[in-house]
Amino acid sequence: MKAKLISLAVATAFTAQANAGTVTSDGADIIIKTKGGFEAKTADGDYSFKIGGRMQLDYNSYDGVINKEEGETGSDLFFRRARIEIKGKVKDWGYVASYNLTDSGSIDQLNTTYLGWGKTALLTFGQQKENFGLEDTGSSKWTTGMERSLPASAFDTGNTVGIKLHGATDLITYNLGVFKSAIDSDDNSLDTAVTGRFVVRPINSDGVLVHLGAGYTMRDGEFDEIGARLGVRGGENKTANKVKAEYNSGFTGDEMSAWNLEAAANLGPVHLMAEYFDGEISGASGTPDLEADGYYLQAGWIVTGENRSYKNGIAAFDKVKPKGKGGAWEVFARYDSLDVTGGDASPLVDFTGEEAQTLTLGVNWYVSPAVKIALNYVHAETEVKKSGEDDGDALTARLQIAY
Amino acid sequence: MKAKLISLAVATAFTAQANAGTVTSDGADIIIKTKGGFEAKTADGDYSFKIGGRMQLDYNSYDGVINKEEGETGSDLFFRRARIEIKGKVKDWGYVASYNLTDSGSIDQLNTTYLGWGKTALLTFGQQKENFGLEDTGSSKWTTGMERSLPASAFDTGNTVGIKLHGATDLITYNLGVFKSAIDSDDNSLDTAVTGRFVVRPINSDGVLVHLGAGYTMRDGEFDEIGARLGVRGGENKTANKVKAEYNSGFTGDEMSAWNLEAAANLGPVHLMAEYFDGEISGASGTPDLEADGYYLQAGWIVTGENRSYKNGIAAFDKVKPKGKGGAWEVFARYDSLDVTGGDASPLVDFTGEEAQTLTLGVNWYVSPAVKIALNYVHAETEVKKSGEDDGDALTARLQIAY
Amino acid sequence: MKAKLISLAVATAFTAQANAGTVTSDGADIIIKTKGGFEAKTADGDYSFKIGGRMQLDYNSYDGVINKEEGETGSDLFFRRARIEIKGKVKDWGYVASYNLTDSGSIDQLNTTYLGWGKTALLTFGQQKENFGLEDTGSSKWTTGMERSLPASAFDTGNTVGIKLHGATDLITYNLGVFKSAIDSDDNSLDTAVTGRFVVRPINSDGVLVHLGAGYTMRDGEFDEIGARLGVRGGENKTANKVKAEYNSGFTGDEMSAWNLEAAANLGPVHLMAEYFDGEISGASGTPDLEADGYYLQAGWIVTGENRSYKNGIAAFDKVKPKGKGGAWEVFARYDSLDVTGGDASPLVDFTGEEAQTLTLGVNWYVSPAVKIALNYVHAETEVKKSGEDDGDALTARLQIAY
C-alpha cells in the first residue's frame, strides 16, 4: 500500500515535470518568487536578491494661475517616475539600488544598511531618504494624491548621501542622520544636513492606527528660494507655476532649517492625515531671511473596504492591496496651504504668489497590487496674481505599474 | 519491482542533487529559463519576469558622398545599440522597460499593456513603437540590412509616448494610436500624432507568407527637415552625410503626414520585401511645404535553408534561428531610393543631394540564436554633388549579441 | 525496509515544501545561486546569467598640496563607483554589461568574448579593459589602496572599445589588442591604440606566487597632458590637485606610448607588489614631447592569515575572502613616485608639481565576501609648490558592498 502511494507520488511528480529540467541551488535552499518582478532568497534568510521597477505615466491639463503662460491651457503626457530597483541582503548587510530612467538617468537611492543590531537600530549608508515628514517619507507609489502637498513639497529634503540611524518597534519609530546637504554640491567644503524624526503610535492594532510625530532638519549650503508648484508638475515642458519667495540674483541664504508636526489615523477603510511645516532660510550677511509655513489636511475612504497598509519601519503609509476582482476604489480630499511671506520685507526678495491654497479631490483605482490608476482634480488659489490670474484648475491622471 | 524502480528513481534524484539545495517557490509553481538572459514565469501564466539585453558593435568605413569631409575616408568603431531589457507580466498587465546604455542613457521603450481582452485587442500605454512601416516595426536586431532603408529612416516615427490599440489574428494585424509627437517637446501645448497601420496576410502557412499592408501617420509639432543618411551612421563622430530638404534657419513646418504601402513574401528560405513611402511637412504660414517619397526593394536567401521568422502580433519579420552547428548564412540585396525635391521651390528651403539611391549587398551569419555577424557593402549615388562628390562606397560590419 | 526509507525520504521532501510550489526549468537542468546578487546557469555549462552590482561610498579630507584651494581643507562624501553588472554565457559566447550609475550613467564595460578556443585564446570584442599594468588590470573592488598609485593612474588606458586576444595557463598570461584610442573621439578618422602585456609566474602553488610581467601601449589621438592626482579624488567638487605636465592651450601631442615592468609576490598572508612605468607623448609638428616615469612599491599583510586571491586569467590580484566571523584585517604601505619633467624644456609646456611622491598607509577590513571597509592615510610631497604648498595630507575612508 505504502509503496503504491509512493509510486503514485513519484509518478505524479515526474509527470508534472515531463520535458522539464530540475532546478537546484549550489548550496543553501532557495525560495523564488515572481509577482511581476523577481526575487530569490535563501531559506535561512541570510541572502536575498530582488529586482523590479516602477512606471508612472501622467497626463495633465491645467490653466489659470497653475500655468505659466497667461490665458492658455498647458498639458503634457510624460513619465513622472520610471525606475529600475534592485534590493538584497548579504548576511548582516542589506542594499538598495534604485535608478531613475528618466532625464538620461540618475541615482534615486543607492545605499547599504547594517542589519546586525536588529530592527530597532539600523544604520544606512549612502543615498537615501532623510525621512522628514509623513507624506515625504512614504513611497511615491502610494501617496494618496498624485503629487505631494504644497508644504511637503516645499520642505522636501530629497534623497541625499549620508548616514542614518533608524529603528522601530510597534510603538515608536525614530531616525537621526547626517547627510551631505545636496547631491551635486560644488563647494570645496562639505555642506552637511542633520535630520531627525520621531513618531509614536498610541494605538496600532486591528486596523486602527493613531500616528503622532515630529521632525526637524537643519542644513548648510546655498539656498536661493523656498516654495512649491501648485499641485501639478507640468511635465517636460516645465510650464507649471510655483508659489515661492526667492532672493534676487546674486543673493543667497547659507542655512535652512525646518520642523514639522504630523498626525494620522487609519480607521479601517478611512484614513485621516495632517501635517504642519515651518521653516526658514537664514540669509548670509546683509541678506534677509526667508520664512515659510504651511499645512495640509487629508481624508480618504476606500469604498471597497480595504485598509491603507502602514510600515512601522519608516512610520508611513504604504500600498493598498485590493481584495476583490474589481480592485479597490478610493476617494479622497486634501486641502493644503503654503505661505512664503513670513520673512523680512526686503527689496532683495522676490515673492511670486506669496500664499497659496489648493484643494485636491481624487479617485484611486488599485486595479491589482501592481497597477494603480489615479484621477485628480486640483483647484488652486494664490493671494497675488501670477500670469495675470489668482486661481486655476487642473485635471491630472496617472497609470502606474509597480513590479 | 515497483518499489525497486521507485528507489532507483529517488536515489537518482538525490544523487544528482548531492551537495545541492532545493529550490521552491513561495506559492504558484514557477518555470525558469536561461538562454543567456533569465526568465521566470508561473506555470499558470499569471506572472512572468524576463531580463536580457543586446549589444551591436559596429565598424564602418565610408568615402565619397557618404562622408561629410571631402576627399577623405571616414571610419568608426562604436556601439550602434546597447540595451538592457526587462519584460514581464502581472496578470492582465504586461510591461516592458528597455534602456539604452549608450550616450549616457535614455529610455528606449517603457510601457505597460492591458492584456485582458486577448490578442485581438491590446492596449499599450507609454513609450513604444508607433508601428509605421514594415521595416521600422520589426526589431532592429533582425533587420536584414544593418541600417534600415532610406525611406524607412526618413519616415521613422521613433519611439514615442502614447496609447496604442493593436491586435492580430492569423489573417490580419492592425494598430491605431495617439502619441505625444516628440519625446522632448518643449511646447506648452501637447503636440500629438495619430498613427495607424493595417496588414493582411492572404497566405500564411507552411513557411509561405504573403504580407500586404498600408499605414498612415499625421503629426503636429515643429519640423525643420526631411531626409536620411546614406546607409551609414558614422558613429560618434557623426560625419556621415544626409540627403535632405530643410528649411532655412528660423523657418519650420507645423504638421507632418506620411503614408506607406508594404508588401512582403516569405518563400521558405527566400524572402522578398518592398515598401513605398510618401509624406510631406506642411509649412507654417508663409513657409513652403516639403515633400518627399521613396521606396526600397529587397531580396534575401538563407543559403543554409532556414526561414526568417515572422510575428503576426506586430506583422513584422523577426529572428533567424540556425538549425545546424555552423549557424545560418544569409545573402541579400536591397535597392532603395529617396527623393526630397517634391515640395515647393523656395529660397526658404535648402536641398542637399535632392535625390539618392543606395544599393546594399550583404551577408548575415546567424552564428547562434544569440549571436549575429553582419557584413554590408553600400554603394550610394546622389543627384547633386555633396562634399564635392555624387557617389560613394561604404563597408560596414556588425557583431551582435542578444541575450 | 527499502520502501520505508523511500517513503520517509519522499515524505520529508514533501513536508519541506508544504505550501510551496515547485520550480522547474523548461529544458536543461539549472542551478541557481544568490549571495546577494543572483545567478542561474545550466548544469551542462552552456548557458548562464548573473546580475549584481557594486557601491563604493567614499569620504575624504585633504589639505596642503593635495587641495587646489590654498590654505583650506577639502572634503567630500560621494560615490566613487556605483555599478550594475550583468554577465552571462550563451554557448561559445560570453558577455559582460557593466553600467556606471554615477554622473547620469555611462558604460563601464560592454563586451562579448568568443570562448570556443578555450582559456588559452579568448577573443573579446567591445568596451573592455586593455589590461596594461598589474594594478590597473585588477578590479577596482580589490585594489589594496583605495586609489591606484600615481604612475598607474597617469598611464591608465581606461576602458576602450576594441578587440583583444588574451589567454592564460598556470605559467603565463598574455593579451594583445587593438582599440579605438578614446571612447568619445570626435575625429573623422579612427584613432587606434595597440596594447599588449605578458606575465610569467615562475612559482604559483600552495599560496606562494611570483609574478613577473611587462606591458606596452601605443596610442594615436590628441593628448594634452600627462599626470595624476595625489592619491585623492576629491569627489564631485573636483578640488583635488594634479601633478602634471600639460601643453599650453592650442597645442597637443598626437601619439602616446608607454611601457611598464611589474613584479609581485604572494607569500601566504603577505604580498609584495611593484611596478615601473615610462611613457611619452610625442608632440605634433613644432610641439615638444612630454615624458614621464614613475614607480610604486607596496607591501601588505593580512593579519588574520588569509591570502589575497589571484586570477591567472587576467594576471591580477582579486578578492580577499575572510575565513573567520570577525572578517579579515589587512594592513599595508605603499610608496609611489611620478616625475613628469622628462620632456623637452619649452615655453609650450606647463608643469604643475613636476615630481611627486606619496606614502599611503592603510587598513582594510574585509567584513564579509561582500563588504569591505577601508581607511587610508596619504602623505604627499611635490618638488614644486602648488596652491602655495609642497606637501599635504589626506584621510580617506570607504564602505564598499559588492553583490
Where does C120-190 show beta strands of DSSP type E?
Answer: 122-129, 159-168, 172-180
Contact assignment for B36 to C49 by CB distance below 8 Å? yes
Nearest residue in C to B81, CA atom: C110
Report the alpha-carbon distance of residue C393 to residue A370 in Å, rounded. Answer: 52
Quick one: CA dihedral A387, A393, A397, A398, positive or negative?
positive
Reported as type and span, the H/E element at residue C7 is helix C2-16
Contact assignment for C7 to A10 by CB distance below 8 Å? no
Q: What's the residue count for chain C?
A: 403
b/e code A121-140 from CB counts within 10 Å (16+ = b): ebbbbbbbbbbbbbbbbbeb
Contact of B180 with B191, CB cutoff 8 Å: yes
**Beta carbons within 8 Å of A312's beta carbon, 6+ residues apart:** A168, A169, A170, A173, A201, A204
b/e code C137-153 from CB counts within 10 Å (16+ = b): bbebebbbbbbbbbbbb
Report the alpha-carbon distance of residue C179 to residue C335 in Å, rounded. Answer: 32
Distances from the Cα of A328 to the Cαs of A89, A335, B123, in angstroms?
Answer: 32, 23, 22
Phi-psi category of residue A370: left, alpha or beta, with phi > 0 → left and psi -120 to 50 → alpha:
alpha
Phi-psi category of residue C388: left, alpha or beta, with phi > 0 → left and psi -120 to 50 → alpha:
left
Give the pLDDT of residue A251: 87
Report the alpha-carbon distance of residue B79 to residue B142 in Å, rounded. Answer: 16
Q: Is A52 exposed, middle or buried (0-12, 13-18, 19+ CB in 10 A)?
A: buried
Give the pLDDT of residue B195: 98
Contact assignment for A26 to C26 by CB distance below 8 Å? no
Q: Across residues C162-187, what is the average pLDDT?
A: 89
Cite the DSSP H helix spans in C149-263: 150-154
Sheet order of strands, C242-247 included: C225-229, C242-247, C349-352
Report the alpha-carbon distance of residue C88 to residue C90 in Å, rounded. Answer: 7
Q: What's the residue count for chain A?
A: 403
Contact assignment for A23 to C23 by CB distance below 8 Å? yes
Q: Please report the DSSP string for A120-165 in residue order.
A: TSEEEEEEEE---SHHHHS-TTS-SSSS--HHHHHT---EEEEEEE
Q: Residue A402's closest CA among B122, B95, B116, B113?
A: B95
Please state the φ and ψ torsions of residue B9, each to the nearest 5 degrees: -60, -50
Please state the φ and ψ torsions of residue A23, each to the nearest 5 degrees: -125, 120
Reported as type and span, the H/E element at residue A367 is none
What the block records as the C-alpha cell of B13 is 534524484
Q: Across residues C71-93, what is the average pLDDT?
A: 94
Q: How confident is the model at residue C199 (pLDDT cuts 50, 70, 90)?
A: very high
- Of A23, A126, A190, which is closest to C55 when you measure between CB atoms? A126
Report the alpha-carbon distance of residue A127 to residue A179 in Å, rounded. Answer: 9
Q: Residue A148's closest CA among A162, A159, A137, A164?
A: A137
Give the pLDDT of residue B19: 60
Whether pLDDT at C279 is above 60: yes
**Beta carbons within 8 Å of B312's beta carbon, 6+ residues apart:** B168, B169, B170, B173, B201, B204
Contact of B318 with B309, CB cutoff 8 Å: yes
Contact of C73 with C65, CB cutoff 8 Å: no
**Crossing angle for the helix pair B2-16 and A2-16, nearest 10 degrees?**
50
Give the pLDDT of residue A145: 97
- Of B88, B104, B112, which is closest to A105 when you measure between CB atoms? B104
A152 min Cα distance to partner chain B (Å): 26
Which has the minimum average pLDDT: A65-74, A156-165, A393-402, B23-32? A65-74
Contact of C321 with C194, CB cutoff 8 Å: no
A309-355 tens-digit pLDDT: 999 999 999 999 999 999 999 999 999 999 998 877 788 888 888 89
Residues in chain A closer than 8 A to C102 (CB atoms) = 107
Contact of B350 with B245, CB cutoff 8 Å: yes
Q: How confident is the model at residue C91 (pLDDT cuts 50, 70, 90)?
A: very high
Write the DSSP symbol of residue C310: E
**Beta carbons within 8 Å of C139's beta carbon, 6+ residues apart:** C316, C318, C319
Q: Across residues C347-364, what is the average pLDDT?
A: 92
Write the DSSP symbol of residue B34: -
Report the alpha-carbon distance of residue B310 to residue B201 in Å, rounded. Answer: 11
Which parts of chain B have pLDDT scores under 50? 1-18
Average pLDDT, chain C: 91
Report the alpha-carbon distance of residue B328 to residue B139 in Å, rounded. Answer: 19
Nearest residue in B to C38, CA atom: B38
Give the pLDDT of residue A185: 54
Contact of B363 with B330, CB cutoff 8 Å: yes
Residue type (1 letter), B301: W
What the block records as the C-alpha cell of B394 is 561604404
Return the number of CB contacts < 8 Å for A and C: 172
CATH number for A29-402: choose from 1.10.640.10, 2.60.40.10, 3.30.470.30, 2.40.160.10: 2.40.160.10
Contact assignment for C105 to A110 by CB distance below 8 Å? no
Please state the φ and ψ torsions of residue B153, each to the nearest 5 degrees: -70, -40
Nearest residue in B to C188, CA atom: B74
Give the pLDDT of residue A45: 94
Give the pLDDT of residue C187: 58
Number of H helices and E strands in chain A, helices first, is 3, 24
Contact of A398 with A56, CB cutoff 8 Å: yes
Residues in chain A closer than 8 A to C23 (CB atoms) = 23, 32
Report the alpha-carbon distance of residue C163 to residue C128 in Å, rounded. Answer: 9
Q: What's the residue count for chain B?
A: 403
Q: Please report the DSSP string for B44-78 in residue order.
A: TSSEEEEEEEEEEEEEEEE-GGGBSSTT--EEEEE
C286-329 tens-digit pLDDT: 788 999 999 999 999 999 999 999 999 999 999 999 999 999 99
Q: Across residues A279-289, what is the average pLDDT?
A: 87
Report the alpha-carbon distance of residue C69 to residue C79 in Å, rounded. Answer: 22
Domain ranges of chain A: 29-402
Give the pLDDT of residue A106: 95
Which residue in B10, B46, B49, B96 has the most chain A C-beta atoms within 10 A of its own C-beta, making it the best mutation to test that interface? Answer: B49
B156-171 tens-digit pLDDT: 999 999 999 999 999 9
Report the alpha-carbon distance of residue A226 to residue A151 in Å, rounded. Answer: 10
Contact of B369 with B379, CB cutoff 8 Å: no
What the block records as the C-alpha cell of C15 is 513536508
What the block records as the C-alpha cell of C118 is 578555450
Contact of B173 with B312, CB cutoff 8 Å: yes
Q: Please report the DSSP string for A341-364 in residue order.
A: --S---TTEEEESSEEEEEEEEEE
Task: Tell me the CA end-to-end span of chain B in Å, nearest whole number.
Answer: 46
Give the pLDDT of residue C12: 42
Q: Residue A138's closest CA among A202, A213, A223?
A: A213
A36-59 tens-digit pLDDT: 899 999 999 999 999 999 999 999
Q: Residue C108's closest CA among A109, A85, B79?
A: B79
- Of A30, A51, A188, which is closest to C72 when you measure between CB atoms? A188
Contact of A348 with A287, CB cutoff 8 Å: yes
Whether pLDDT at C7 is above 80: no
Give the pLDDT of residue C5: 44
Q: How confident is the model at residue C17 (pLDDT cuts 50, 70, 90)?
A: very low
Which has the minimum average pLDDT: B215-229, B335-349, C177-191, C349-363? C177-191
- What CATH architecture is B28-402? Beta Barrel (2.40)
C237-268 tens-digit pLDDT: 678 899 999 998 888 899 999 999 999 999 99
Report the alpha-carbon distance of residue B129 to residue A101 in Å, rounded. Answer: 18
Q: How confident is the model at residue C185 (pLDDT cuts 50, 70, 90)?
A: low
- Of C24, C90, C188, which is closest to B237 when you measure between CB atoms? C188
What CATH number belongs to C53-402? Answer: 2.40.160.10
Taking the mean position of all CA atoms in its chain, how far away is CA A366? 18
- Of B35, B73, B79, which is closest to C110 when you measure between CB atoms? B79
Residues in chain C closer than 8 A to A42 (CB atoms) = 34
Q: Residue A119's closest CA among A312, A331, A373, A327?
A: A312
Residues in chain B closer than 8 A to A53 (CB atoms) = 86, 95, 97
Quick one: CA dihedral B292, B293, B299, B302, positive or negative?
positive
A170-223 tens-digit pLDDT: 999 999 999 999 866 555 568 999 999 999 999 998 889 999 999 999 999 989
Q: Residue A93's closest CA among C233, C306, C365?
A: C365
Residue type (1 letter), B149: S
Q: Is the ipTM here above 0.90?
A: yes
Which has the minimum average pLDDT: A82-91, A253-262, B70-79, B273-282? B70-79
Give the pLDDT of residue B1: 40
Reported as type and span, the H/E element at residue C284 is none
Residue of C71 and A5 predicted with greater confidence: C71
